[in-house]
Chains A and B, each alone.
Chain A
Amino acid sequence: MLYSKNIKRYFFACLISFHGIINADPFESCPSNAFLMQESVAQLYGVNLVTGDYSLLSSDLGTTDKINAIGFNFHDNYIYGWGYQWGTLVRIGDDYQATSLPLENNPGVNFYVGDIAISENTYYFYRKGVDHGLYKVSLDEQSNDHLKVIKVINGQDLSINIYDFAFHPEDKFAYTVDRNGQLYQINVTTGGIVGLGNIGETGTFGAVYFDVDGNFYISRNSDGHVFIIDIAQLNPTATFFAYGPSASQNDGARCAVAPVIDESIAATTDYGDAPDSYGTTLFNNGARHGVSDIYLGSTITTEHNANVYPKTDQDDGITFLTPLLSGSDSLIEVAATGAGYLNIWGDWNRDGIFTPDEKLLSDKYMDNTTEVLLVNTPISALNGFTWTRARFTSITSIVASGGVADGEVEDYRVLVTNAGNSQIQDTPYYVAFEDSWPVKGDYDMNDVVILQNSSLLLTDSFEVKQIEFQGELKALGAAYRNGFAIQLDNVLPSNVNSDLVRFQINGVLQQISAIEADTQYLVIKITDDLESHIQLSAACDYYKTETNCSNSSQMTFSVTVPFIIPISLDVFPEAPYNPFIFAKEATYHGDNFNQPGRALEIHLKNRMPTSKADPNMFGIADDNTQISSNYNYQTVNGLPWALAINPGSQEEWRHPSETVDILQAYPKFKSFVESNGNKETNWFSRINSDLSKLY
């Protein structure tokens, strides 16, 4: 959804209500944001762990000194901590005023490590040293030990250099990281401690938190970096998560049973939309920004979590005026709103990740401007389409993933070519099949509908060095199960540079080869079973053909096929090439054959079958194929089982609804056919359709 530029910060304002000043009420709910206590005169901040974005909740907590060792009490929705002004426990309600609580057996010193257990209504606090240790005090007013301090273990027996700890939401243990990066699990019942290994980061981690999924977050005082640790791993390591606030003194608290994303309020975070291998969703620590007055272009989108390709956001900040020319300068146009630093990464080796050195632009300062920039792409960048990521924010030296408090991330799929090469993009085709061959179907032409885009890279000698297909399944109104492939007639498969073939489905790199083995001419096989890539909606028999049967699942594909020896454009086949469907192995595909499998192919009219088609199938039922005359896949009336429809780039072709004959949906199809294509060449346009008969 598009988000207003003058966004109101929700943070705790949405979660907290004020009910009085003298007798503070508890917080209304268990918030997704964390609390952060800072400064020598306590100030309380709210921190969005997702982005590191933070805001001051109160600069006057009713004390003239520090408050430390804070924890959020899941049992009563108050914050508790150690008030240095009074040398005792304090409680903070929704008025942000600290109320001191007298303790029986008060140890008599101040504490900066503390949290409240999830499994019991008890505050635990710790200080190293022989005269101190780990203590607990019940916060349960019904308990006989209410506000009575009990020492769990001596500070000499439990001796660790820590600055905060936090309770896991489920396992009853507290966890902490010392300044050397050692992760510990503390049994607060016995005071026993288990070292879980070094997490790979050092420093003073003054604020640590858990979320409901058991992810452990630690915030480093010196630079504000927030790291995430999966403590369930055998060797837990810290992964950078977000750029948070830095401070000389930090203490954190959080309701550990809350998720870090609160979907009950409007989203305030912007994500990218590249495939998730690049780090896009929160689950994969994706690039994300708190929405602010700094962004790319004139709009910014907000989401609770990322829309991953093939779903997309509305990005408008970067325009690639030329392809990225490897080893050479290229032109991009950048529109920036607000002042900040622009970084752009490119996946030059097309392995599905952005490495720190795969940069196109680093910390380019821009202030409310639109500029055309020269950028240089490494000569090692592979030809073909790849992903780039642009991040614009007020801080410098950021990485390609993780959270930032402000700015925007935009992901773009762009073409990389060599200087001197040409790109010819074929016009897009909607390839629509009837899958009943060799029996005539109902001509609703929606048993399989594929949007097929293709482009050629030419050398400076006008030879084809690479072809790329991009496609999307638009409809699947088939009762049979079908695969989909494209043959490049007269192109030999041995001429494919197999090592550089890149095949993706829904943006995910496929491990299987798209080049079908043992064929006479090159066959690019996308899938053996189209239906396996989509989920049918409830109460719907088909995919996007029935009225009132919408479906949000998508199946897209892309294949890049480079050739060892470039092929002269004069002899290279023309778009739409030779797309075809074929029967899925071991499935019923009509009464004429017994589970024909790959041998049953259905092509566009007069396109040649592959070498894997069974020639004995021709001439059966309504098929009038005459291979010797190249009259293929047509009836005795010359009617096809597949159409390649070419509406251009500015209009999407809409296929007929289920069982609606294409002639009823597009009445001018008749004139087009009977004139051999000389009349009504735009028969497929929206204005020539009966909209009521289209899906």
Chain B
Amino acid sequence: MKTNIITLITLIIIIAGCGGGGGEVSTSPEKSVTLTPSTEDETKETTTTNELNSTPEFNFISNTKLDIKLPASPSTNITYFINICTAFSTENNEVEINYDSCKLRTSLTTEEQAFILSISAAELMLVAQIWPIEDGAQPITLYWNINEYGNSWKITI
């Protein structure tokens, strides 16, 4: 209730202020009713969590589900292992991965595999690195970003 009263008062002040502004408002009448400024003011006015309201179902957790489909192994003689990780950097076309950040670590099998990963909404890019487990191994490195692929990633090699 306290929030509603404050919001109402704010709207009245804003509208009154705009309405009394004279010619500038009349040339652009839509602006006089826009609620954008009032939204900012609402944020300022609600200063304590105690004033917030939530539906009983909402659990306050945010995350992103990512459907991942892994390719079949290209070889039946050599095991291929894949790491899918969130923390990495690239420099001079070389990727450096923090393997502690890997969300999925598994071997490729003779068939495609599907996984659903839950990641932070703050994570916008992933790296996949596929290693043949053999002497002198060289990895295959692939990337996912949410803007390009959305919430699914079909990895192909």
Interface residues of A (CB under 8 A from B): 319-323, 328-331, 372, 374, 415, 417, 419-427, 440, 443, 458, 460, 574-576, 604-606, 626, 629, 631, 634, 637-640, 643-644, 646-651, 661-664, 667, 669-674, 676-677, 681-683, 685
Query: A residues within 8 A CB of B58?
Result: 605, 638, 673, 676-677
The answer to whether B122 and A638 have CB atoms under 8 Å apart is no
Question: Quick one: which of B99, B109, B117, B121 has the most chain A CB within 10 A?
Answer: B121
The answer to whether A638 and B121 have CB atoms under 8 Å apart is no
Tell me the bound Cα distance from A575 to B129 in angstroms. 25
The answer to whether B123 and A649 have CB atoms under 8 Å apart is yes
Q: Is the C-beta of B50 less than 8 angstroms from some C-beta in chain A?
A: yes
Name the interface residues of B113-128: CB closer than 8 Å to any CB of A. Answer: 115, 117-123
10 tightest CB-CB pairs across the interface, nearest first? A648-B120, A638-B54, A422-B106, A443-B49, A681-B121, A649-B101, A681-B62, A648-B123, A631-B56, A648-B122
Interface residues of B (CB under 8 A from A): 42-43, 46-50, 52-63, 79, 81, 83, 86-87, 98-107, 109, 115, 117-123, 129, 131, 133-137, 139
Assuming the contacts A323-B105, A646-B120, A646-B121, asked whether A676 and B48 have C-beta atoms less than 8 A apart, the reply is no
List 24 A-B pairs, Cβ < 8 Å.
A330-B133, A331-B81, A419-B79, A422-B105, A425-B101, A425-B103, A425-B104, A458-B106, A606-B56, A606-B59, A634-B54, A637-B53, A638-B56, A644-B60, A644-B61, A646-B62, A649-B87, A650-B101, A664-B48, A667-B43, A673-B60, A674-B52, A677-B62, A681-B121
Considering only CB atoms, which chain A residue lies closest to B117 in the complex?
Answer: A424
Q: How far in angstroms is the closest Cβ of chain B from A271?
A: 21
Query: A residues within 8 A CB of B79?
Result: 328-329, 419
Q: How far in angstroms is the closest Cβ of chain B from A638?
A: 3
Tell me the bound Cα distance from A136 to B13 in angstroms. 102
Query: B residues within 8 A CB of A651?
Result: 122
Tell me the bound Cα distance from A661 to B46 in angstroms. 11
Tell me the bound Cα distance from A330 to B106 in angstroms. 12
The answer to whether B62 and A672 have CB atoms under 8 Å apart is yes
Considering only CB atoms, which chain B residue lies closest to A423 in the complex?
Answer: B105
Add 14 more A-B contacts to A440-B50, A639-B50 (CB < 8 A).
Answer: A372-B137, A419-B107, A425-B103, A443-B48, A576-B61, A604-B60, A605-B60, A606-B59, A638-B58, A646-B121, A648-B123, A663-B49, A677-B60, A682-B62
The answer to whether B60 and A640 have CB atoms under 8 Å apart is yes
CB < 8 Å: which of A643, A650, A671, A683 contacts B86?
A650
Query: A residues within 8 A CB of B47?
Result: 661, 663-664
Assuming the contacts A419-B107, A646-B62, A677-B60, asked whether A427 and B136 have C-beta atoms less than 8 A apart, the reply is no
The answer to whether A424 and B115 have CB atoms under 8 Å apart is yes
Tell me the bound Cα distance from A415 to B118 in angstroms. 20
The answer to whether A575 and B118 have CB atoms under 8 Å apart is yes
The answer to whether B53 and A638 have CB atoms under 8 Å apart is yes
Tell me the bound Cα distance from A178 to B103 in angstroms. 59
Query: A residues within 8 A CB of B101?
Result: 425, 649-650
The answer to whether B123 and A670 have CB atoms under 8 Å apart is no
